[in-house]
Amino acid sequence: MRCPFCAHEASQVKDSRPTEDGAAIRRRRQCEACGARFTTFERIQLRDLTVLKNEDKREPFDRDKLVRSVSIACRKRPIAPQQIEKLISGIQRQLETGGDPEVPSKRIGELVMDGLKGLDSVAYIRFASVYKDFSEAKDFEDFAGNVNEVAAKQ
């Protein structure tokens, strides 16, 4: 593991423990060259995933991209970072155990929408506005109205 401070290759693990959601291992490391301490998170990757984008374009699955988009939707909402991490880990686990190494981007979007729907309605609407490509205020109004109707029935 490369030190983020001096880029030296060797580091010593000082402490290891699973994260709260159990999807990763948190390691405290110390660089053998400069003595700096830093934290790494190591995840088990069951398989390499390829995302099928529109127009038959393919790209490797990028967990960080998923984290960024969900975090933007959840910005300034009363959602703990652990809840976001649990949502992302659950989505990634579903994709990796789904059997197919190629996943349509639409499937990922649907999984995020399902997860956000149960987490926070505002984050759900924010994500939907980008995912469903809302082009005018009426699109927001219609979608938010549907969300409120579904919530009232439950």
Q: Residue 26 and residue 42: Cα distance in Å, rounded?
A: 7
What's the whole-model pTM score? 0.69
CA distance 44 to 50: 17
| Residue 57, helix vs strand vs coil | coil
Q: Where are the domains of the chain?
A: 11-43, 50-153
What letter represents residue 87's amino acid? L
Terminus-to-terminus CA distance in the chain, angstroms?
A: 48
The predicted pLDDT at position 146 comes to 77
pLDDT at 94: 92
What's the CA gap between 134 and 131, in Å, rounded?
Answer: 8
Residue pair 46/108 in contact by the 8 Å Cβ criterion: no
**Dihedral in degrees, nearest 10, Cα atoms 105, 54, 127, 112:** -10
**What is the spatial order of strands in the sheet that 11-18 belongs to?**
11-18, 24-31, 37-43
Asked whether the beta carbons of 23 and 43 are under 8 A apart, the reply is yes
Which pairing describes strands 24-31 and 50-52: parallel, antiparallel, or unpaired? Answer: unpaired
147, exposed or middle or buried, with CB in 10 Å at 0-12, 13-18, 19+?
middle
Q: Each residue's pLDDT tens digit in the chain (154 positions)? A: 789 999 999 999 999 998 877 778 999 999 999 999 999 988 776 678 999 998 889 999 999 999 999 999 999 999 999 899 999 989 998 998 888 899 999 999 999 999 999 999 999 989 988 888 888 888 878 887 777 665 555 5
Query: Which residues are 50's β-sheet partners?
Result: 60, 102
